[in-house]
Copies of this chain bind each other. A is one copy, B any other.
Amino acid sequence: MTSMLDLIHELWFLKRDIVSDGFDQALYRLAEEVPMTLHEVPSGEPCWTWRVPEKWTCHAAYLETLDGRRLLDYADHPLHVVSYSLPFDGEVTREELLRHLHVHPRLPEAIPFVFKYYERDWGLCVSQTLRDGLKDEAYRVVIRTTFEPGSLKVGEVVIPGQSDQAFVVVAHLCHPAMVNDDLSGVVVALEVARALGKHAGPPLQYTYRFLILPETIGSVAYLSRHEELIPKMAGGLFLEMLGNDSPHALQGSFQPDSQPDRCFNAALRSLDPQGYAGPYRTIIDNDERQFNAPGVRVPMLSLSRVQAPKASGLPPYPQYHSSLDTPEIVTQERLEASRDVVLGLIQAWERNQYVVNNFKGEIFCSGYGIWIDYRLNPEGHRRLFEIMERCDGSRTVADIAAELELSFQAAWEVVSLLEEKGLVSFSWIPV
């Protein structure tokens, strides 16, 4: 069993463009680690309003001075060529070259990640420093790319539960030669799948579907090919950017009062006390958009390590979408911490039932050995009673925690104690 960080080292530099041999190679390797079903959709197939792109390959690319001095080479770094660039071969004036030369907006030494899946253009990516040094009148550009029929691939790991109601975990794999965005989310997702697959304790209530796919078009392809599953998706979580040095940021779904939203917001409080939460679309933009969208409307949240919400004007992390997003900036320890946060969220989700009182009036706490003396522990006493009085069959554990601004776990502690004593029962529907 390969560690998350070792998998990253093995796969990160692959040319994992959305439909490409590099993507397939990475996915096959992951499938060796965690057995998965591979779904394929051929190039050109319509998926709702979309169409699956052709397979793209860059065979070689370079920029040279007219006297043959090579300034950059795709062989050195996959980011040097715009993903899905058209082929090009010829001399161009400096002026024209600059129109096709992309640099990073903040990092002068980094090669930026640029993609033009649907724009039909050619382009190269270089450091600001390299571009600033271009003084000649003309240059020679060679980009040898091909577009050919292929197939988009989605890897799916299913961990069955008691119910066919599903919870969906999604990560994308299509960011070539980068690590935190997006490989970190993929390896955490698969570690979580592995842990759930062999977890001890009560059997899982929900069926879990882990999807590893190319961003956006992968989600659209999967959903459009499995419309019958959508009504059974009770919630979801998108994972990405989980190895860098920031607290966990939980982005809400399009439906902020949904049970997954309430449950995860309350659970994160104790899973990462430094963590924070923000509404839909205020932290990141990814596949959760396809699941939250009209006609799907699965409440999917997103978990990532992001230094500050978008409104701050800051990037999610300094090396975002650049050649500096390397294994250097992620650690096994942080990946494991994120895996544990996800497992903690799922544990809360599994426990998040309606709490039905088997009692009337207040419980005789002394008689059940659950009395907390208000003179010794006024906070604990108050919390015990505030939770107890909300156990009425109309509120889930998450509803109670949200109402009291408690962590899910603090509410669960009391509620599960009451359940042990036979004072409450759990129900998947309000009673």
Interface residues in chain A, defined as those with a beta carbon under 8 Å from any beta carbon in chain B: 48-51, 117-119, 216, 219-220, 223-224, 227, 254, 281, 289-290, 292-297, 357, 359-364, 366-368, 371, 382, 385-386, 388-393, 423
| In contact, A295 and B219 (Cβ under 8 angstroms) | no
Would you give the shortest CB distance from A131 to chain B, in whole angstroms?
A: 17
A220 partner, pick from B49, B290, B362, beta carbons under 8 A? B362
30 contacting pairs across A/B (C-beta < 8 A) = A48-B360, A49-B364, A49-B423, A51-B367, A117-B366, A118-B366, A118-B371, A119-B366, A220-B361, A220-B364, A223-B360, A223-B361, A254-B389, A281-B382, A289-B362, A289-B385, A289-B389, A290-B362, A292-B389, A293-B360, A293-B361, A293-B362, A293-B389, A294-B357, A294-B390, A294-B393, A295-B360, A295-B392, A296-B361, A297-B392
Q: Which residues of B contact A297 (CB under 8 A)?
A: 392
| In contact, A367 and B294 (Cβ under 8 angstroms) | no
Would you give the shortest CB distance from A215 to chain B, in whole angstroms?
A: 12
Closest B-chain residue to A116, C-beta based?
B366
| In contact, B292 and A367 (Cβ under 8 angstroms) | no
Would you give the shortest CB distance from A310 to chain B, in whole angstroms?
A: 10
| In contact, B294 and A389 (Cβ under 8 angstroms) | yes
Q: Which residues of B contact A294 (CB under 8 A)?
A: 357, 359-361, 388-393
Closest B-chain residue to A290, C-beta based?
B361
Distance A162 CA – B227 CA, assembled complex (angstroms): 38
Distance A66 CA – B116 CA, assembled complex (angstroms): 96
Q: Which residues of B contact A392 (CB under 8 A)?
A: 294-295, 297
Would you give the shortest CB distance from A162 to chain B, in whole angstroms?
A: 27
Would you give the shortest CB distance from A304 to chain B, in whole angstroms?
A: 18
| In contact, B389 and A359 (Cβ under 8 angstroms) | no
Q: Which of A50, A223, A224 has the most CB of B within 10 A?
A: A50
Closest B-chain residue to A371, C-beta based?
B118
| In contact, A367 and B295 (Cβ under 8 angstroms) | no
| In contact, A296 and B48 (Cβ under 8 angstroms) | no
Q: Which residues of B contact A364 (CB under 8 A)?
A: 48-51, 118, 220
Closest B-chain residue to A389, C-beta based?
B293
| In contact, B119 and A219 (Cβ under 8 angstroms) | no
Q: Which residues of B contact A382 (CB under 8 A)?
A: 281
Would you give the shortest CB distance from A155 to chain B, in whole angstroms?
A: 20
Would you give the shortest CB distance from A109 to chain B, in whole angstroms?
A: 21
Distance A224 CA – B227 CA, assembled complex (angstroms): 52
A49 partner, pick from B119, B368, B390, B391, beta carbons under 8 A? B368
Q: Which residues of B contact A254 (CB under 8 A)?
A: 389
| In contact, A361 and B423 (Cβ under 8 angstroms) | no
Known: A49-B368, A49-B423, A423-B49. A361 touches B219 (CB 8 A): yes
Would you give the shortest CB distance from A43 to chain B, in whole angstroms?
A: 14
Would you give the shortest CB distance from A238 to chain B, in whole angstroms?
A: 14
Distance A129 CA – B350 CA, assembled complex (angstroms): 56
Distance A187 CA – B382 CA, assembled complex (angstroms): 30
| In contact, A361 and B295 (Cβ under 8 angstroms) | yes
Distance A414 CA – B97 CA, assembled complex (angstroms): 35
Q: Which residues of B contact A50 (CB under 8 A)?
A: 361, 364, 367
Q: Which residues of B contact A117 (CB under 8 A)?
A: 366
A357 partner, pick from B219, B295, B362, B368, beta carbons under 8 A? B295
Q: Which residues of B contact A390 (CB under 8 A)?
A: 294
